[in-house]
Amino acid sequence: MQPIDPNGPAAHNPADLPSDVLVVEDDTLIAMDATEAIGGFGVGSVRTARDVASALQLIAERAPDFVLLDVGLVREKSFAVAEQLERQKIPFVFVTGYSGSVGVPAAFAHYPVLRKPYLRDELLETLRKWRSQD
């Protein structure tokens, strides 16, 4: 991902963004790109988890402000993490490469979905709306 142009359409005020974001993503390159982009937007802390157990551990250690939650992880779905986020009232969006509502149970249908591959501006807009996603 390329650096964001501070005078371009995606220019922002970091105060609009969460200060701690958890990226739950099993694809190393996607996780690295997301982490780099989110840090470039001015978010102070970006943590990553590759599986459900790691995500739950990071949430237990320190609840994030916002979570990007990949639906399909290597050998599991991320719905146990979504349930924990709901219990703790932590806002999140599902991230998936699947089209339509494929793979998201009806109980989570009201949560927003960010489609992969996403653009930096789409990621930034998702982060800007973080308070309205819980």
Q: Tens digits of per-residue pLDDT, 52-61?
A: 999 999 999 9
Extract the residue ranges of the chain whose pLDDT is less than 50: 1-11
d(CA 79, CA 134): 15
Say if CB 82 and CB 69 are below 8 A apart.
yes
Say if CB 76 and CB 69 are below 8 A apart.
no
The residue length of the chain stands at: 134
What's the pLDDT score for residue 7? 45
Give the pLDDT confidence of 61-89 residue by residue, as tens digits: 999 999 999 999 988 999 999 999 999 99
**E strand segments, the chain:** 20-24, 45-49, 66-70, 92-96, 113-115
What's the pLDDT score for residue 10? 47
The topology (CATH level 3) of 19-133 is Rossmann fold (3.40.50)
**10 contact partners, CB below 8 Å, separation of at least 6:** 4, 120, 121, 124
- pTM for the model stands at 0.87
Residue 127, H or E segment: helix 120-128
Q: How many CB atoms lie within 10 A of CB 22?
A: 27
Q: Taking every pair of C-alpha atoms in the chain, what is the biggest distance, in angstroms?
A: 42
What's the pLDDT score for residue 47? 98
What's the pLDDT score for residue 63? 98
The three-class DSSP label of residue 62 is: coil
What's the pLDDT score for residue 62? 97
Question: Which residue has 């650096």 as its token pair?
Answer: 3
What's the pLDDT score for residue 12? 55
Averaged pLDDT of the chain? 88
- Show the tokens assigned to 30: 């996607």
